[in-house]
Amino acid sequence: MKIKLFFVALFFMATISCFGQQSKTWEKWNWLIGEWKGEGSGKPGQGSGTFSFAFNLDEKIIERKSHSEYPATENKPLIIHDDLMIIYPDFSGNPSKAIYFDNEGHTINYTIIYADKSIVMISDKIPNVPIFRLTYTLLDPEIINTKFEISQDGIKFMTYIEGKSKKIK
């Protein structure tokens, strides 16, 4: 009887431990979950847009959806940019990978690095393809800075777009 009770207790403790580990998977992302509205500038011009980070597939992934518009000017037509990113855990359960798709036909595979108040995504190195870096930095609980940069060598990055966003939901 004592052996059965020991195994039941062991099973119960293992189950609690597993549930505890699952909840920690996304703790570095909690401040980004929600809907955001922002404005920024860069190569495409001054623009505005919205994006969201939401759990999906029973919190196994995070989906980021984004919509941006850059008004027409004398030299450029209206630019509308839509994209989708899936953030997912690696084999160890650490959310360290992401894949990005947009309406221009781009696909980017990212590796994720965590800094003090930032989440940094760096694209995989592919011959003859620029390296991209996307950084989200928490400025206060309701405001973040987003910066998208491009590099030819992975060392010197040039800002392509940067802007601040406010949490709306």
The token pair at 131 is 């390296």
Domain membership flag for residue 133: yes
CA atoms of 22 and 41, how far apart (whole Å): 38
Domain membership flag for residue 127: yes
Q: Which of 23, 113, 94 is nearest to 59 (CA)?
A: 23
Domain membership flag for residue 51: yes
Q: Which of 95, 28, 107, 98 is nearest to 64 (CA)?
A: 98
Quick check: helix, strand or coil at residue 137?
strand
Q: Which of 160, 66, 70, 62 is nearest to 119 (CA)?
A: 62
Q: What is the pLDDT of residue 71?
A: 86
Q: Which domain holds residue 35?
A: 29-167
pTM score, two decimals? Answer: 0.80
Amino acid occupying residue 72: A
86, pLDDT greater than 60: yes
The token pair at 81 is 């940019």
Domain membership flag for residue 71: yes
pLDDT tens sequence across 106-154? 999 999 999 989 999 999 999 999 999 999 999 999 999 999 999 999 9
Domain membership flag for residue 9: no
CATH number at residue 49: 2.40.128.20
* Tally of structural domains, the chain: 1
CA atoms of 11 and 56, how far apart (whole Å): 28
